[in-house]
Amino acid sequence: MSMTGQPKQAQRRTSLRMAPSQRVVMADVAARAGVSVMTVSRVLNGFLGVSGDTRRRVEEAVGHLGYQANTAARVLAGGRSRTLGVIAVETQQFGPSHALFGIEAAARAAGHGLSFVTLSPTGSDMAETLDRLRASHVEGVIAIAPVEGVINALADVHSELPFVVAGGDPGVRFPTVSLDQEQGALRATQHLLDRGHATVHHVRGPKGWRDAEGRVRGWTSALRIAGAPRPRPLVGDWSAASGYRVGQRLVNQAGVTAVFAANDQMALGLIRAFHDAGRSIPDDVSVVGFDDTPESAYFVPSLTTIRQDFNELGRQCVALMRSLLDDHEADRRVVPAELVERESTAAP
């Protein structure tokens, strides 16, 4: 009999029954994987420099033991969560979604995790969204802000968290990283003018999208510099269907030899509309898009377009955030756009 009055065998059975309810800690994962606690921490936080075999053993141990990292405990213990919050608008459009991919890749390479939340295009749920990120113990927030509603909501944000805005308006009070929409549109338009076209028609994106506004400004600047007439821009909604509808209007206008579409999907619709009307691309009409989607090289003909470097956008956003977290001065950064020449443009 033990001093507690229970046989030692009974005590042992009791401790065995309690074992499954005990909280699994990082040391348990390290012991099962045969590595150090530091190595487990590096794997869980996405750090580079861990071999594939070691990473696999740690991940298998995590899965077998059901280990869940306690971010809150880590923060309370005086450490950093190494988690960044990302706010993105609820949209499937190519630009915002690939900006998110670029940020995620850059954060992972820098050893940061992400806590991702979506926001309505009106930005009316900004306060609630920030509360959710605070509950996740994020160290800072990167906001992908392509639309007017989100830009306006950011103007009302007063947060203790460091903020970086990806895209959107460089006039916001937070540090920003922007893809150069205006420069890209100017280059697209100038490319067509250099081919000898008297002017360039434009299919713009929907109102309220800052990228669309920047592309209109670039198109307008190129025409003004060249002294070319400025046709009235026609409005699409980023979809190929809207590009097709606009194309059906343009085929009935005399003198249309060149069109700059504000994204590749609308350019695809334009090409189909001209094809259905018996107009050849690029012999009768030249078309330039914007984005350089993976499919644009396989259009018939392949599409001349503007490439946006979303990986560099993500890298710059994370680099700017790391500067803020280290109490360094933040700046505003612009990622240049690149013209990709393919088969959809020619001299008139």
Residue 134 has pLDDT above 70, yes or no: yes
How confident is the model over 50-68, as a mean pLDDT? 81
Residues 6+ apart with CB under 8 A from 218: 181, 182, 183, 184, 185, 186, 187, 188, 189
Question: Closest by alpha carbon to 200, among 224, 177, 183?
Answer: 224
Q: Is 75 a member of any domain?
A: no
**Residue 88 and residue 49 share a domain:** no
Query: What is the arithmetic mean of pLDDT over 109-135?
Result: 86
Q: What CA–CA distance (Å, rounded) separates 309 from 106?
A: 13
**Burial label, 106 (beta-carbon count in 10 A; 0-12, 13-18, 19+):** buried
193 close to 226: Cβ distance less than 8 angstroms = yes
Do 326 and 296 belong to one domain? Answer: no
CATH number at residue 21: 1.10.260.40
- Burial pattern 110-146, b for ≥16 Cβ within 10 A else e, equals bebbbbebebeeebeebeebbeebeebbbbbbbbbbb
pTM above 0.85, yes or no: no
- Which residues form the domain of 236? 181-308
- CATH number of domain containing 277: 3.40.50.2300
pLDDT, tens digit (0-9, with 9 covering 90-100), for 46-55: 555 678 888 8
For 234-248, what is the mean pLDDT? 97
**273-298: per-residue pLDDT in tens?**
999 999 999 999 999 999 999 999 99
DSSP letter string, 4-37: TSS-HHHHHHHHHHHGGGSPP-HHHHHHHHTS-H
Q: Which residues of 285-312 are buried (b: 16+ CB within 10 A; e: fewer)?
A: bbbbbbbbbeebeebebebbbbebbbeb
Burial of 235 per CB tally in 10 Å (0-12, 13-18, 19+)? middle
Same domain? 304 vs 235: yes
Same domain, 302 and 316: no
- Note the pLDDT of residue 344: 98
Total of domains in the chain: 3
Which helix (H) or strand (E) is 286 found in, with range?
A: strand 286-288
Q: Is residue 123 part of a domain?
A: yes
